[in-house]
Amino acid sequence: MRISILVLILSLSTYCSSASETADVVDKVVDIVDDDILKELGIDTSPEATRKAKEDLKELEREYKERKEKEEKDKKDKLSSLQVTIPLDECTDDDANKHCSKSYDLGHGITVKFLPSTLTVIDSSGSPLFSTVNSFLSTTPLTFSVTEKDGNFNVTKSAPHYVLRRQVVDSAYQSPSTQTLTFSGRLMGQGEPVPYTCLFSANKNGGHLKYSCSISPPSPPSSGKKKIPPPSWETSITVASNPGERYTGFGLQFSHVDFTGKEDVELFVGEQGVGRGEEPITTIMNKHFHGAGGGPYSTYAPSPLWMSNLGRSGYLTSTEYTTWSNPTSGTVTFKVVGTSVSGGFVGIEERPNPVEPEIVEWGTEPLTADFGELLEKVTGEVTGRYEGVPEWAYTKGAIVGMQGGEDKVKGKVKILRDGGVKIAGLWIQDWAGKRVDSFGSRVLWNWELDDEFYPNWEQFLGDMYKQGTRVLAYVNPCLSTRVGEFKKHARRDLFLEAEARGFLITKDGKEGETYIQSSASDEFQFGTVDLTDEDARKWYGDVVIRCNLMCKCDEANEHWPTIKEEQPSKPPQCGNGGSAAVGHGGWMADFGEYLPFDTVMSDGMEGEAMHSHFPATWAGLNSEVVGEEGGDELFFSRSGGLKSPGMAASGGMFWVGDQNTAWDGNDGIKSALTAYLTGGASGFALTHSDVGGYTSLDVTKDGVRVVLARTEELVLRWMELSAFGDCMFRSHEGNQADAQIQVWDNEGLTKAFAKWSDVHSMLAPLRKGLMKDAREKGWPLVRGMWFKYGDLGWGNREQYMLGEHMLVAPVMDEGKTEKEVWLPRGEWVDFNTCKTVKVEDYDGVTITVDAKVGTTPVFVVKGDKKAMKVAKRVWRKYKFWDEEGGRECERYAGADVGVLLRRFGRFIRGRK
């Protein structure tokens, strides 16, 4: 009689929301109703019958749920389908089923193929560069707004009003001269159909399709005399994700290296955030400081570029607000808030099958795909490449950040030199002076020397240069208001000059309405130079970069005389209009991420499109001047985008922003390495970070106190990270310089700083070769384990390869004295014990190594003569190893040639 109780259950389930609720009701019914009555009804109430009936119910509910999900999917697929109505004339019979298609040869190995419900692009390899699951293009109207406060941009994007996912291809035309394919049609769904047009073309190098699509949404209706504001439109490009496909890239990211399965990844230039998901600091900063906490995808330098383990890549050249998703449905989607979207797909010739990876023989590399080949193609054809860091910046010691005026700087330099620190450069960010308001002391954004703060600057530059030390400065594309209040002795008031010449961005592009923004406090106000105005670019390039930074002032003095009526009587020197034999060796080219949405640039580009492109434009101006002058100056930026590596080619590199003085993986030391890895996979080949971190604070809100402060252990571990991973070894005093530990504060820190900055310099022969790779192939110095070992190393953010020479696994956890290290198949020489580890497993092995403070796990590729030669130099000088490994290291290192020569000399003299 079990079926009878099942009928009872199914009857009750009509009124219940779930199987568990139904089961609860059944139990109550069985408890309440008399057993005799149930027996008369023929219902078996035994525990066994009840249990089995409940199991049957769950099975029926599962089947019902699967059926409903399939119905919903079929309905959605129908609404989001691709329908090709153009004539299809390439038909084949397959088991009595007729398949028709239409192909267009775009040249350079690219073929576009339309089927009745599919669009596929095939390259010369014969494999799809991409294929569609449903529609390639879709759009939706929505409400979108962006507000800004102190550089923090808060984005509000409503749920879509409705989505037009059904793409109908009504016509297609191929130009006989350019071979560009143009196809157009309608996007359909709810609401009025929206016309669209797409253009496909092939890059001349092959394996690269470029596209641009635009929609023509209907005009909003009018309500009497009042016109309804038009909605924003979000336009999407969607292609199929292949089985086993994984994704990385996306510029300088901090919380993730593997983006497989991630959804709504925001690719938008902004402040990095303080916390970025680490709690409780993120919530406090977001709630009380205008969204300053950020989130897991907030970054100064996002790039709308994904790199796949299967040897293909997708990118956007559109610069409006963008998100990316890889949902479990098996698609990859870029969404752009705008009525047009442009970008491309890149693939290499040999793209492997991830489902059945080839098991290779001992001695060969277990590659899933040649990531290096793909990156070389992407950087050569899409992002551009850096030319490399000047040798002086990575061969002669540390770049030390310090400030506070001439006397304080000289005192700090003496402490460091007395402690054995080799100083390649002094980075002095307050060279232009300071301003003090309710927020505190800030650099005065009037980019000329403050010759009261640094009265002997020209002599100081010359003296440092003779001692092998370059002096670096700080600038950004913004200009402070109220310069006269804070610096009465200013030679030029650059804000007033730029405003008088119309060189600053304006509110909504209205002439004469300078856009005034603030930073950190309402009192700190500034304007931003419009870098799309060619005259403004030349003015800033001649006056600030060429003259005040590089001390080459002929152009500035001839073409851009100051508008100040009174000049200080003191003669100008380098930094404020005077020429000198030695200029600055470089500078931090800061900011770029503050450009507001509600401006219109002089070239007509609206702020919402220019916002994420402005950082690359800013870097481009610096690179242009450095390149024209042909010297060995450098500059380092923190904000950027897709095209930044190429636009910052001459003298440029990146630092990865303002990490917290913390250990975590969202905004602490671990996040810096993550940014190296994702940046390196996106064309940002040259990266480094502030040794010790930047952001410290002590804040109490809502009864919760959060303290971020440098510890000696954190600073020491950061030195270890930077010694191997950074393109140059640079320190920063941080945002609370007087309250935080500095590298000159005690003998132990100074000694360690001397050691690790020297180790960094001793690795110069390796870096020099890697700079060549960066210049010629776009390959980063710091490479994710997947770069060489494919899926086996995919997603690993705890270790990396320094080129192809060394495996480095920095310790980034507080209090840890051991480290788990994954060693791929091969033979490795432990940098700290000199013992050889042979790994024969295809999957590699994970080992635990000792890693006390002062020791970082490093393994040299055995047989790499160049790396072993460098390692020997370090071993001779610093002897990291313990007594047990000493003999082995001595065997590898060999006798010092100088020692042998001296011994031989003494032997000869003795015989005489």
Report the predicted TM-score, pTM, of the whole model to 2 decimal places.
Answer: 0.88
Residue 885: is its pLDDT beyond 80? no
Contact status, residue 732 vs residue 695, Cβ threshold 8 Å: no
Both tokens of residue 356? 């059945």
User: Which tens digits make up the pLDDT trace of 760-786?
Assistant: 999 999 999 999 999 999 999 999 999
Which DSSP letter does residue 862 get? T
Among 10-24, 97-111, 405-419, 550-564, the range of highest mean pLDDT: 405-419
For the cut 60, the answer to whether the pLDDT of residue 10 exceeds it is no
Give CA–CA dist 639/593, Å, rounded: 6
Q: How many other C-beta atoms can be found within 10 angstroms of the C-beta atom of residue 59?
A: 11
- Looking up tokens 């950082």 gives 615
Ranking 125-139, 214-228, 333-347, 384-398 by mean pLDDT, the lowest is 214-228
Q: What is the pLDDT of residues 823-867, one digit of tens each?
A: 999 999 999 989 999 999 999 999 999 999 999 999 999 999 999
Q: How many residues does the chain have?
A: 912
Pair of tokens at residue 789: 């070992």
Instruction: Please provide the DSSP assignment of 256-312 as one string.
Output: -S--TT--SEEE-B----SSTT-TTHHHHHHHHTTTTT--TT-BSSEEEEEEETTSE
Range 150-169 average pLDDT = 88
d(CA 852, CA 819): 9
pLDDT at site 355: 46
* Rounded CA separation 85/563 (Å): 66
CA distances from 367 to 62, 310, 352 (A): 41, 10, 9
Q: Which of 430, 435, 502, 509 is nearest to 473 (CA)?
A: 430
Measured CA distances, 514 to 62, 148, 286, 532, 704 (Å) = 63, 16, 29, 15, 40
Element (H, E) at 525: strand 521-528
* Amino acid sitting at position 667: D
| Calpha distance 537→625 (Å, rounded) | 10
Q: Give the pLDDT band (50/70/90) at residue 903.
A: low
Does 127 or 185 have the greater pLDDT score?
185
Q: What pLDDT does residue 520 have?
A: 81
pLDDT of residue 1: 38
Averaged pLDDT for residues 301-305 = 98
Region of residue 693 (left: phi > 0; alpha: psi -120 to 50; beta: else): left
Neighbours of 190 (CB within 10 A): 12
Q: Is the pLDDT of residue 364 over 90?
A: no
List Cα–Cα distances, 335 to 147, 236, 320, in angstroms.
Answer: 20, 4, 10
Is pLDDT of 491 > 70?
yes
Strands of 216-270, DSSP E: 222-223, 226-227, 232-240, 247-251, 265-267
Q: What is the DSSP letter of 545?
A: I
Q: What is the overall mean pLDDT for the chain?
A: 88
Helices (H), 467-585: 483-486, 494-501, 534-540, 554-559
What are the φ and ψ backbone dihedral angles of 121, each rounded to 5 degrees? -115, 125
**pLDDT digits 0-9 by tens, 279-297:** 999 999 999 998 999 999 9
DSSP 149-188: ETTEEEEEEPPPS--B-EEEEEEEEE-TTT--EEEEEEEE
pLDDT bucket at 360, cuts 50 / 70 / 90: very low
pLDDT tens, residue by residue, 223-233: 555 555 678 99
Q: What is the mean pLDDT of residues 10-22?
A: 51
Confidence of residue 28 (pLDDT cuts 50, 70, 90): low
Report d(CA 689, CA 732) in Å as an integer: 9
Query: Dihedral through CA 416, CA 419, CA 422, CA 423, nearest 10?
Result: 0
pLDDT in the model for residue 882: 61
- Higher pLDDT: 728 or 889? It is 728
Predicted confidence (pLDDT) per residue in 412-433, tens digit: 999 999 999 999 999 999 999 9
pLDDT of residue 183: 96
Check pLDDT > 60 for residue 359.
no
Residue that wins the pLDDT comparison between 222 and 442: 442
- Tell me, rounded to whole angstroms, the distance of Cα 897 from its chain centroid: 45
Cα separation, 455 vs 437, in Å, equals 24
**CB count, 10 Å around CB of 764?**
15
Model confidence over 788-815: pLDDT tens digits?
Answer: 999 999 999 999 999 999 999 999 999 9
Query: To which H or E segment does residue 888 belong?
Result: helix 883-893
CA nearest 425: which of 459, 386, 394, 453? Answer: 394
pLDDT confidence bin for 93, thresholds 50/70/90:
low
On the CB side of 733, how many CA atoms lie within 13 Å of its CA? Answer: 18
Q: Could you tell me which residues are beta bridge partners of residue 837?
A: 828
- Distance in angstroms (rounded) separating the CA atoms of residues 478 and 457: 23
Kindly tell me the sign of the dihedral angle through the C-alpha atoms of 387, 392, 395, 398: negative
DSSP result, 764-795 = HHHHHHHHHHHHHH---SEE-THHHHGGGGTT
Query: Is there a contact between 819 and 852 (Cβ–Cβ < 8 Å)?
Result: no
User: How many C-beta atoms surround the C-beta of residue 406 within 10 A?
Assistant: 15
**What is the percent of the chain where pLDDT is above 70?**
86
CA dist 272 → 164, 277, 302, 676, 775 (Å)? 34, 11, 10, 15, 28
Residue-level pLDDT at 89: 75
Across 59-63, 538-542, 648-652, least confident range: 59-63
Quote the pLDDT of residue 441. Answer: 81
Phi and psi based region of residue 679 (left: phi greater than 0; alpha: psi -120 to 50; beta: remaining): alpha
Q: What is the pLDDT of residue 483?
A: 94
| pLDDT tens per residue, range 696-724 | 999 999 999 999 999 999 999 999 999 99
In tens, the pLDDT along 635-665 reads: 999 999 999 999 999 999 999 999 999 999 9
Q: What is the DSSP string of 79-133?
A: HT-EEE-S---EEEEETTEEEEEEEEEEETTEEEEEETTEEEEE-TTSSEEEE-S
- Measure CA 106 to chain center: 33
SS3 content of the chain, % helix, strand, coil (to 5): 30, 25, 45
